[in-house]
Chain A
Amino acid sequence: MADPRHRSLLTAAACSVLLVCATLLSGTTTLAGPSRAAAAAPGASAEEPACGPALVTRTLSTGSAWRMCTRIHPFKGLVLEDVQFRSATGTGDDQGWLRVIGSLYLAQLNVPYDTGTDVFDDITGIGFGNDRLLTQTPETCDGDALPVEQSFMVGSKLVERTIPGICVREAETGLAWHSQEGWATTSDRYAQQGRALEVSSLSKAGWYEYQQKVTLTDQGTITVGLGAAGDLAPSEGFFRTDPAFGWPIGPNEDEDSDRHAGSHWHNAIYRVDFAIGSGDQQVEEWDYEGDPAFPTRVRGEGTIRDEAFIAEDPPATTWWRVVNPTALNADGHPRSYEIVNDAIQNPYLPLTRPPLSFTNDHPCQEYASSNLNAGCPGQSVLDYVASETKPLTEPVAWVSVGYHHIPRDEDQSPMPVHWQSFSLAPRDLLAQQALTPAERTCDNGLTTGAGGSCAAINVAAPAIAAGNSPPGAGTLLTADSGTWRRARELLAYEWLWLRDGEPILATGDDGLPSAATGETYRLTDADIGRQITVRVTASATGVTPGIATSAPFVAPLPTPPVTNPARTAPELKLKILKKGDRRGRPRLRIVVRGDQGGGAGVVTIQRRGKVVTAALSDGRVTVRLPRPGKRYRVTVSYPGDQWYLAATATIRVRR
């Protein structure tokens, strides 16, 4: 049906108008996110939404992703369709794209002023699209402002414009998760900052301007918000003398002054068509009952509501979810979304009083009231529920989200945005939370929270130490294991030595080549000047193995001796310190100094045919000598360096 050539032209056209094309294009090309999509079982993922340039696909920096179709309807404003979620860490059936919402939009915004004389239906009477849609600017959108193509008839002419009209941005959500079960060590602490995708638009409906904003978190939660800003209704006609209907705004004059800004309601009703997996869905209600004789005892009971209904004055503890009994998560639990509506409702209108109503998905039931669709004209949610005859298998939620705006001095122009919202929270959409770290992947069911990491996780890389300095062929290198998070089982370590990133083949005891493994490795001529690293693999039964690699160790090529014709003779001073070490052994201080400062390199110390070496640091080094049974002599030789000639000195060590 769709002509791909046309589509690419469209995208190019959009790009020439706006600067957002880079993200628009990359948004669609990067959706096959690297390892994750490849890891998803074929066929497990939902089909990509079919909406061409209106497809928004974003992978959040925490790894979870959303994709959906976005557009601006002439009356409804922002409409989302075919909303799909992909968790960062889901496994098995929880991998890949999961379809959750068929369509979501604001189905009515009823604004009655408390005086009872003025009421506006901002969706069915004014509309949020066409010329009511406001252009996104850097001030309104610090993310990607997506192009919106609009057109309508004026008289006999078709008019059009394309403006940046939908804002897509990634937002921080603060601390996303936290767990610290082990109290002995902070290496058992798991914490992460969360991210969310925000999709929004701005519309002007009279003095009020509204931001329609849907926030989709990396945990799969969808929050649907309406932010109202702009200006208070004009004082002419909307400011009254009676304080019962408003609030005094502006400087005080006299008590009867006509300065009370009119209080009013913003009564929003959203239409949510759920699409959790495929096939019939159900609405389940959970009710709770206390026990007067045992007040802390609360009994809960779930009931499938198989007919359309209005939630009339439900107890605050009652909640609902839309569940698909045949769409199971990796644990075999049916997937569902819970409706979380903590907003208040205007209790004085039969339409807005119920926090929630459910009907089947009928295409003619487009608006929550004053319905504009000819299939069921002028009707409201109340009529839809009353006229439903079929079992509730394709649930549509009508969510009433109110805000009683009693103006304050602070609400004057430009009015700070005031918010009203509800949420859709995943309940068993996944077998575990969407960002489960590797350390907690085995923590599913009875082992909750305890027992250390499920995976070998390196905290500090392994380190290599040389047996002597300067190192060269024959130097023995020793590696530690690095530091690892406490795991469910005691970790065992294996070392593999690498030269320039490739495993080193050493000659084994049998004379055959074998990989250099173990905690130690002796440098050979082939290693000099090359990068030597050690790779540690940590593993244990039932623990996901982990790998960590050390920083490179380099044995420098021997520097060719530099002959400095101006070399001078240093002074080589030896002194037995007054105080021996704790065990009474004498300590010999060796100092090599001359006109160029301290000598560099090593000195050799000879005693009764035994030779040891010691490295000078800033021309000095202190060595311990054996406790003398009888007196002996110690000869110290300095081979010289590029500044100093060789030198030798002798000292007697007495009892």
Chain B
Amino acid sequence: MPRHLLASAVAAVVLVAGSLFLLWTPSPGAPAHGSASSSDEFEVAGDGTLPEKRPPLREQGAPLSTAERGYAIGLALASLPDSGRDVLDEARAEVLAADLPAVDLRDGRRRVQVTAYDYDDDRLHQILLDLPTGRVISEEALTGVQPPPSTAETQVALDLALTAMPAPAFVDQFRQLTGAPLLAADEVRVIGAAWAPEDGGGSSATRTCGTERCVQLLVALPSGQYLSTDDFVVNLSRRAVTLFPPGGHRHG
């Protein structure tokens, strides 16, 4: 599948009618008060665009408001090279986190540390921003550090696994358990985990995981039953699914 088609497919899955498909919702058997679950789900903030004007700022130790976080992410992305690409191959780095920095780095001011991954060159960027001035305090870029995957990365990894040839075991397992083929990502629930082989380990196919961005998936049926997903990892940098040989180990 060409990259841009994949990207739009994922975007469609992830954002349905302005509401994010929640990867993990309370289980269907949850008690009645859980039925007010609409407020549990993530929704697009406003029109989803990042605020360009500085929003009102909270005290230095307060959790970030959505507006503050969005403003900081916008500043951070603007400071990165134009060549940046996210997991959907769009022209921006993949934002993995934006939160308060360590107390010592705040200097008593409203500051945000943004972490983003650039699929163009497989580099992780960490940008410290000063919100009152909008200034970049520091910016570091490096390879080999792989934070937890974002929602979009996990979704892309699942899409890649669903369409991989040969298919990972869970695709067939889904058919056996439900009697129907697994066609769309929203038929299962998924949690992604950053993955790298143990030091010095890995096959030729997985040895680049770590410097490249790889994800393992924990996939469950809506009932909560987990499928077997320990036979593959997804290399998001290469958009490739690596199957382990039967009886092989993911580590070592």
Instruction: Report which A residues bind B (CB closer than 8 A).
Output: 1-3, 5-7, 10, 17, 49-54, 69, 71-75, 81-82, 102-103, 116-121, 124-127, 130-132, 134-135, 137-139, 148-163, 204-207, 231, 233-234, 236-237, 273, 361, 363-364, 366, 370-375, 377-378
Chain A residues with Cβ under 8 A from B46's Cβ?
158
Interface segment among B18-26, B158-166, B180-188: the answer is B18-26
CB B217 to nearest CB in A, in angstroms, measures: 10
**Residue in A121, A138, A149, A361 whose beta carbon sits within 8 Å of that of B33 in the complex:** A138
- B41-60 to A contact mask, C-beta < 8 Å, 1/0: 11111101110000011111
B194 at interface, CB cutoff 8 A = yes
CB A56 to nearest CB in B, in angstroms, measures: 12
- Complex Cα distance A308/B56, Å? 41
Contact, CB under 8 Å: A151 / B191: no
**Residue in B23, B115, B230 whose beta carbon sits within 8 Å of that of A237 in the complex:** B230
**Residue in A50, A150, A154 whose beta carbon sits within 8 Å of that of B14 in the complex:** A154
Contact, CB under 8 Å: A159 / B42: yes
B141 at interface, CB cutoff 8 A = yes
- Complex Cα distance A228/B250, Å? 24
**Residue in A82, A121, A156, A159 whose beta carbon sits within 8 Å of that of B61 in the complex:** A82
Chain B residues with Cβ under 8 A from A149's Cβ?
63-66
Contact, CB under 8 Å: B251 / A119: yes
CB B139 to nearest CB in A, in angstroms, measures: 9
**Residue in A82, A102, A153, A161 whose beta carbon sits within 8 Å of that of B95 in the complex:** A153
Interface of B is mostly: loop
Q: Which residue of B lies closest to A373 (CB)?
A: B126
Contact, CB under 8 Å: B145 / A377: yes
Chain A residues with Cβ under 8 A from B98's Cβ?
74, 152
Kindly name the residue among B24, B42, B125, B229 whose own CB sees the greatest number of chain A CB atoms within 10 A. Answer: B42
- Complex Cα distance A148/B227, Å? 31
Chain A residues with Cβ under 8 A from B10's Cβ?
155
Instruction: Report which B residues bind A (CB closer than 8 A).
Output: 10-11, 14-15, 20, 22-24, 26, 30-31, 33-34, 39-46, 48-50, 56-66, 69-70, 73, 86, 88, 90, 92, 94-95, 97-105, 109-110, 115, 124-126, 132, 140-142, 144-148, 150-152, 173, 191-195, 198, 218, 220, 224-230, 249-252
- Complex Cα distance A125/B250, Å? 15
- Complex Cα distance A400/B88, Å? 39
- Complex Cα distance A363/B126, Å? 13
CB B193 to nearest CB in A, in angstroms, measures: 4
Please judge, given known A-B contacts A102-B103, A363-B101, whether A159 and B88 are in contact too, CB under 8 Å: no
> What would 16 more interface pairs be, CB under 8 Å, given A3-B57, A74-B99, A158-B45?
A2-B57, A50-B60, A69-B62, A75-B148, A116-B249, A117-B230, A117-B249, A131-B24, A155-B88, A157-B45, A157-B48, A158-B69, A159-B44, A159-B48, A161-B43, A371-B145
Contact, CB under 8 Å: A205 / B90: no
Contact, CB under 8 Å: B58 / A6: yes
Chain B residues with Cβ under 8 A from A118's Cβ?
230, 250-251
Contact, CB under 8 Å: A158 / B132: no
- CB pairs A–B below 8 angstroms (8 shown): A2-B59, A6-B57, A10-B65, A71-B100, A124-B147, A132-B24, A154-B151, A370-B145
Chain A residues with Cβ under 8 A from B41's Cβ?
161
Chain B residues with Cβ under 8 A from A73's Cβ?
99
Nearest 10 A/B pairs, CB to CB: A157-B48, A363-B102, A51-B61, A6-B56, A374-B140, A234-B226, A374-B126, A127-B148, A52-B62, A236-B228
Contact, CB under 8 Å: A234 / B63: no
Chain B residues with Cβ under 8 A from A135's Cβ?
26, 34, 40
**Residue in B24, B44, B146 whose beta carbon sits within 8 Å of that of A157 in the complex:** B44
- Complex Cα distance A236/B168, Å? 14
Contact, CB under 8 Å: A372 / B88: no
CB A226 to nearest CB in B, in angstroms, measures: 18
CB A231 to nearest CB in B, in angstroms, measures: 7
Chain B residues with Cβ under 8 A from A51's Cβ?
59-63
The number of inter-chain residue pairs (CB within 8 angstroms) is: 239
Contact, CB under 8 Å: B58 / A2: yes
- Complex Cα distance A219/B102, Å? 29
- Complex Cα distance A596/B110, Å? 88
Contact, CB under 8 Å: B42 / A207: no
Chain B residues with Cβ under 8 A from A54's Cβ?
61-63
Interface of A is mostly: mixed
Chain A residues with Cβ under 8 A from B39's Cβ?
17, 161-163
CB B216 to nearest CB in A, in angstroms, measures: 9
Chain A residues with Cβ under 8 A from B20's Cβ?
154, 159
Chain A residues with Cβ under 8 A from B224's Cβ?
231
Q: Which residue of B lies closest to A81 (CB)?
A: B61
Contact, CB under 8 Å: A1 / B218: no
Contact, CB under 8 Å: B24 / A204: yes
CB A199 to nearest CB in B, in angstroms, measures: 14
Q: Which residue of B lies closest to A127 (CB)?
A: B148
Contact, CB under 8 Å: B151 / A152: yes
Chain B residues with Cβ under 8 A from A236's Cβ?
173, 226-228
CB A233 to nearest CB in B, in angstroms, measures: 8
CB B67 to nearest CB in A, in angstroms, measures: 9
Chain B residues with Cβ under 8 A from A139's Cβ?
31
**Residue in B44, B73, B191, B194 whose beta carbon sits within 8 Å of that of A132 in the complex:** B191
Chain A residues with Cβ under 8 A from B86's Cβ?
155
- Complex Cα distance A253/B125, Å? 54
CB A525 to nearest CB in B, in angstroms, measures: 66
Q: Which residue of A lies closest to B231 (CB)?
A: A237
Q: Which residue of B lies closest to A204 (CB)?
A: B24
Chain B residues with Cβ under 8 A from A231's Cβ?
224
Chain B residues with Cβ under 8 A from A130's Cβ?
151
Chain A residues with Cβ under 8 A from B140's Cβ?
374-375
- Complex Cα distance A361/B64, Å? 23
- Complex Cα distance A49/B63, Å? 13
Chain A residues with Cβ under 8 A from B92's Cβ?
156
Contact, CB under 8 Å: B226 / A207: yes
Contact, CB under 8 Å: A159 / B45: yes
CB A374 to nearest CB in B, in angstroms, measures: 4
CB A207 to nearest CB in B, in angstroms, measures: 6
- Complex Cα distance A603/B209, Å? 109
- Complex Cα distance A207/B230, Å? 14
**Residue in B58, B95, B173, B218 whose beta carbon sits within 8 Å of that of A7 in the complex:** B58
CB B2 to nearest CB in A, in angstroms, measures: 17
- Complex Cα distance A10/B227, Å? 42
Contact, CB under 8 Å: A125 / B60: no
Chain B residues with Cβ under 8 A from A206's Cβ?
191, 193, 218
- Complex Cα distance A574/B44, Å? 99
Q: Which residue of B lies closest to A371 (CB)?
A: B145
Chain A residues with Cβ under 8 A from B90's Cβ?
155-156
**Residue in B63, B66, B94, B103 whose beta carbon sits within 8 Å of that of A158 in the complex:** B66
- Complex Cα distance A135/B27, Å? 12
Please judge, given known A-B contacts A156-B90, A237-B230, whether A131 and B45 are in contact too, CB under 8 Å: no
Contact, CB under 8 Å: A50 / B61: yes
Please judge, given known A-B contacts A1-B110, A234-B226, whether A72 and B63 are in contact too, CB under 8 Å: yes
Contact, CB under 8 Å: B44 / A151: no
**Residue in B95, B100, B194 whose beta carbon sits within 8 Å of that of A152 in the complex:** B95
Chain A residues with Cβ under 8 A from B252's Cβ?
116-117
Contact, CB under 8 Å: A75 / B97: yes
- Complex Cα distance A74/B230, Å? 25
Chain A residues with Cβ under 8 A from B100's Cβ?
71
